[in-house]
Amino acid sequence: MRCKTRTVKIGSCLIGGDNPVVVQSMCSTDTRDVDATIAQIKELEAAGCQIARVAIVDSEAAQAIGKIKAGTTIPLVADIHFDYKLALQSLSAGADALRINPGNIGDRKRVQAVVSACREKNIPIRIGVNSGSLDKQMLQRYGAVCAEAMVESAMENIKILEDMDFREIKISLKASSVKLTLEAYRLMASRVDYPLHIGITEAGTKDRALIKSALGLGMLLNEGIGDTIRVSLTGNPVDEVWAAYEILRNLGLSERGVELISCPTCGRCEIDLIPLAEAVDQAVRHMEQPLKVAVMGCVVNGPGEAREADVGIAGGRGFGLLFRSGEIIKKVPAADMFSELLQEINKLTNNK
């Protein structure tokens, strides 16, 4: 069962409560390069990204937010370290949320200025604790990076905001270790009802990051923990969005996109299945409609093994059998398997 959390609003996006888990990503562009950032956010939007975050490194980046927002439609989060002036500038420029740790801003007056500006515009703040940048005091208190230290650090930041009667808060506790991430979020979920932004940080290059994220985020989501997710990987952020939906869909938390069922091949396989499966994968990746597509190596077992697929192809010697919901509907020459299958997919997705 999903953990009960409060709801915060980032632009038009509701996070927490009974709202569906929100998919977000972070731009890898220099925020000051407005055109490049808009272009990347548009790509992210097209992939289904619901919130984009940008790094605010200086005033120019903060001011770019206005122009970026004018060229895009999804809510924008300003990611700031330490400098409260950049937070204020980002808010003036139209940021829909801030990621900043109040404990890093400095004296109370500065925090108050940021909180007042957020309150005025109904803008939430994400407190983001990262295991790699845990503050020295906390490290000394606990002797090493651990879940308790991460949660304690978040709690201190939460208290600063709560003392100012500000509760439009979202929390993240990221680590590159899956086990540490799990422990930290589980502990946090038992302590507060603020919505949780979950992710494995610095998860590595694409394949490695996908495994870590699927494991870490999958386990948390399956326990009902997590209101918004970001898969982080060293690579194109569009892949982060695709991976996020794969994780959500496989847990029954989203219906977006095509599920590809393909067999591992074995001695019964009579077609060159791997390139066919890969070509089908590329062709269906961008599709939003929910559909199960199967690419199977043999006609004997293929259609039956992929009975739950909406549509699929099973390879024979020199031909393929096109099937729907386990029933064979057509025999096609091997050279046409890809195009025939795609035609069938398009028919089904256009009707959805």
Q: Which stretch binds ligand SF4 (CB under 6 A): 154-162, 183-191, 260-268, 281-289?
A: 260-268
| Least CB distance to ligand SF4 at residue 343 (A) | 22
How does DSSP assign 143-208, residue by residue? SS--HHHHHHHHHHHHHHHHHTT---EEEEEE-SSHHHHHHHHHHHHHH--S-BEE--TT--BHHH
The C-alpha atoms of residue 26 and residue 30 are separated, in whole angstroms, by 11
Binding mask 204-243 for ligand SF4 (x = CB under 6 A): ----------------------------------------
Phi, psi of 336 (to 5 degrees): -105, 5
Among 83, 305, 310, 344, binds ligand SF4 (CB under 6 A): 305
296 in helix, strand or coil?
strand
Question: Does 301 contact ligand SF4 by CB under 6 A?
Answer: yes
- Answer whether 302's CB lies under 8 Å from 326's CB: no
Q: Which stretch binds ligand SF4 (CB under 6 A): 12-20, 104-112, 297-305, 334-342?
A: 297-305
H/E stretch holding 34 reads: helix 34-46
Q: Which residue is nearest to ligand SF4 (CB)?
A: 297
| Least CB distance to ligand SF4 at residue 45 (A) | 37
The C-alpha atoms of residue 320 and residue 29 are separated, in whole angstroms, by 44
Residue whose CB is less far from ligand SF4, 95 or 299: 299
| Least CB distance to ligand SF4 at residue 326 (A) | 13
| Least CB distance to ligand SF4 at residue 300 (A) | 6
- Answer whether 229's CB lies under 8 Å from 222's CB: no
Residues 6+ apart with CB under 8 A from 274: 265
Residue whose CB is less far from ligand SF4, 210 or 299: 299
Question: Does 265 contact ligand SF4 by CB under 6 A?
Answer: yes
Residue whose CB is less far from ligand SF4, 54 or 314: 314
Among 128, 302, 312, 316, binds ligand SF4 (CB under 6 A): 302
Apex 78 CA angle, 73 and 81, nearest 5: 170
| Least CB distance to ligand SF4 at residue 202 (A) | 36
Among 141, 208, 268, 307, binds ligand SF4 (CB under 6 A): 268
| Least CB distance to ligand SF4 at residue 264 (A) | 5
| Least CB distance to ligand SF4 at residue 271 (A) | 9
Residue whose CB is less far from ligand SF4, 7 or 301: 301
In DSSP terms, 23 is beta-bridged to 229
The closest of 349, 340, 291, 284 to 315, measured between CA atoms, is: 340
User: Binding-site residue total for ligand SF4 (CB under 6 A)?
Assistant: 12
Question: Does 298 contact ligand SF4 by CB under 6 A?
Answer: yes
Residues 6+ apart with CB under 8 A from 45: 52, 72, 73, 74
Q: Write out the residues near ligand SF4 by the rule CB under 6 A.
A: 263-266, 268-269, 296-298, 301-302, 305
